[in-house]
Structures are given as C-alpha cells and as structure tokens.
Amino acid sequence: MSISSSSAAAAPTPAPSARLLPGAPVADQILADVESRAAALRARGITPSLATILVGDDDASAGYIRIKQRQAASLGFASPHRHLPATATQDDLHAVIDEFNEDRDVHALLIQYPIPQHLDYDAALMRVDPDKDVDGMHPLNLGRLAAGIPGPLPCTPAGIEALLAHHGIPVSGREVVILGRGATLGRPLAMLLAQKRPTANAAVTVVHTGVPDWSRYTRRADILIAAVGVPGIIQPEHVKPGAVVVGGGVRYEGRRLLPDVDESCAAVAGAITPRVGGVGPTTVAMLFRNAIEAAERRFT
C-alpha cells in the first residue's frame, strides 16, 4: 500500500555540522620538531631545561606541573622544580626566580599561575629573565611582539596561529574578530595575526563585552576567536554562517571545562574547535617550543 506525500511523515533534515579543528595533531607536529631539536642539543652535550615554580598546594596547579614534567621527560628536557609553601613571601619567590635566572643550566622558566593572593604575580613575572620567559608574557617580550622582533611568543596566541595554519585555514587578507582584550590572549593575538606573514596578515578587529553591540562585529567575521572566559557567550546567532570559530577562552567549574563557544555553534560555523582538545594542546606545545628556542639561543 502506498502512502501519499501528504500523510507521510517528513524525514528530518540533519543539522549541518562544522568541520572540527582539533589541537592534538598540531601539538604532535610541534612537539616532534621540539624533540628532534632537543636531541640535536643533547648530541652536543647540552640538555635543554625547563624549570618550574609552584607556590602553595592547589591540586589543579600541582597537576599541571606534573603534566609539564612528564612532557619534559618525554622530550628529553631536564625539569628542575621548586615548590614553595602557601605562606611564602614575595622575597622568597623572588629568591627562587633569581636562583633559576642565574643558573646557566636552566634555559626556560615557568611560574605556575595562579599563586596565593597575598603575592604579586606581575612583580614575580617582571623578575624573570626575559630570555627565559617561557610563557612569553614578560613586558619586554610583549614589546618585542609589538615591534616584530623575534622572542618568546605568548603560548595560546601562537598556538591559535599554528592551529589555523595546520588545518589549512586561510588567514591572510581575511577579517578576524577577537572577542576579548585580555593581556594573555586577545591583545597579543591581535598583534600576532596582523603581522605580515603567510599564516597571519589579517584585518583584525578586537571587540569586548564593554561594547553593547559587540555581536555586530562577530557576525561579520570570517574567523571569530572567543577570548573572554565567559562560558557560552558565543551562540549561533553571533556567528556568520560558514565562519571559522575558535574557542580560546575558558573557565573551570571544579574540573569541568566551560568554553566561551557554545557547542550549538557547530550548526552555523564552517569549521570550529572542539569543546575539549582544541586550543589547549597547542598552548602546551608552544610552551616547549619557546623552551627549546631559549636553549638554542643560549648556545648560538
């Protein structure tokens, strides 16, 4: 028996799904290069070294240090570490920084953030030798970035550029909108992607939540990068159909990661980073790229 078209239930139309842009293959490629360069240094009798400082007993921070130490070991790095109690003074912290600054066998240095509230992180960062600043966040290194002078790059912005390049996303000449103006992501990323380079050279607009109609800018972006740290702030109606969407900002609720970009945006975007495993792996990889470059600079 045939069923007329008027009585047949309409077949559901599958929702479009954006191409995913995972960070793991990008990180693997970067880390393979780092491992090769570390082996070349060790062949010359030089062991690259990334030192870490942890202040206090935050479980998440201690976990991040362990991850970095395991990664360092797998790449052939030394990873000297100092753990200060939560009661440490600013002078105590500066003394350890000075110790690592003066140690010629330490090529890169990381202060695990956050530190206890009674301590001044910015003052500690200023104390770090800029050439050992593995995060690329020392004011001198941000100045180098602004001037186009080689130096350690902020890890998350550099990781985003690498992610776009790895996945063949054209950036040059396109309109990039960054939602967020923070010193660790939005501002340095804008400088990075505006530079004259095949993987950059974009028309970059930085907008923020202090602009009442910020979505007017995001809806015109060829590449939209969320860098606010407000869970779910980017919804499908804020995205131009077919745009590339990168979730750079996150917040944690306990151990649960809450990204800026709502997963429903995949129904509108042409390509999008996954909720987990997008920008994060590339940030860690760039940390070690900065570290190997610091070691190489020391011996050239």
Q: Is 69 assigned a catalytic role?
A: no
Cα distances (angstroms) measured from residue 102 to each of 45, 136, 140: 20, 19, 19
Q: CA-CA distance, 196 to 141, in Å (whole number)?
A: 19
Q: Which of the residues 68, 71, 131, 222 is marked catalytic?
A: 68
pLDDT in tens, the chain (300 residues): 333 333 344 444 445 589 999 999 999 999 999 999 999 999 999 999 999 999 999 888 999 899 999 999 999 999 999 999 999 999 999 999 999 999 999 999 999 999 999 999 999 999 999 999 999 999 999 999 999 999 999 999 999 999 999 999 999 999 999 999 999 999 999 999 999 999 999 999 999 999 999 999 999 999 999 999 999 999 999 999 999 999 998 887 777 778 999 999 999 999 999 989 999 999 999 999 999 999 999 987
% residues pLDDT > 70 (the chain):
94
**What is the value of pTM for the model shown?**
0.91
Q: Which of the residues 133, 135, 222, 262 is marked catalytic?
A: 135
pLDDT number for residue 16 = 57
pLDDT number for residue 9 = 45
Cα distances (angstroms) measured from residue 300 to each of 49, 288, 293, 294, 296: 16, 18, 10, 10, 6
Q: Is 112 assigned a catalytic role?
A: yes
Q: Is 135 assigned a catalytic role?
A: yes
